[in-house]
Structure 1
Amino acid sequence: MILQLVDEGPVELDAPVETYLPGVNRFPNQGADRDGPTITVRNLLQHASGIANRKGSTAQGTVSTSLAAGSQSVPGTTPWYSNARH
């Protein structure tokens, strides 16, 4: 679906996720400018966002817990797949 949106124009692969979901990818323990704002749509699709693999009790909890753990690599440098589920 994301690639269809890219093809149709409203989403750009190299745009920061922050463009479409403001504030969702902030690493609270590392400062507002650390990695989160630099994660692109492409990084997410390539499993190379650098977001840690943590599990929460809900989908939002999984995102929050993962971001609170900090980054595990610089976005776009290390592909890593996680099958974490809430």
Structure 2
Amino acid sequence: MKEELDGLARNYPDRFQIYYVLNQPPEAWSGGVGFVSKEMIQTHLPAPAPDIQILRCGPPPMNKAMAAHLDSLEYAPQMQFQF
């Protein structure tokens, strides 16, 4: 879905942002590197609010860790969506 997500970010920059994170990125990678941390979430994602939706996609351990981080940062369950 990368092309579709990039298109949404391009067409709706005030309403849709993406921050990609790879554990083992290629050399020319300009996104995040490593495991998603609470600090990374606080830096790159909007603060919890009723009109915020955080989408995540990745292997089960990453999704589990990221859900725990989002919960601890007070993102309500309805603010989170996992592919």
Q: What TM-score comes out, normalization by structure 2 length?
A: 0.25
The answer to which structure has the higher strand fraction is: 2
Q: What TM-score comes out, normalization by structure 1 length?
A: 0.24
The answer to which structure has the higher helix fraction is: 2
User: Which structure exhibits the higher relative contact order, with contacts defined as CA atoms closer than 8 Å and separated by 6 or more residues?
Assistant: 1
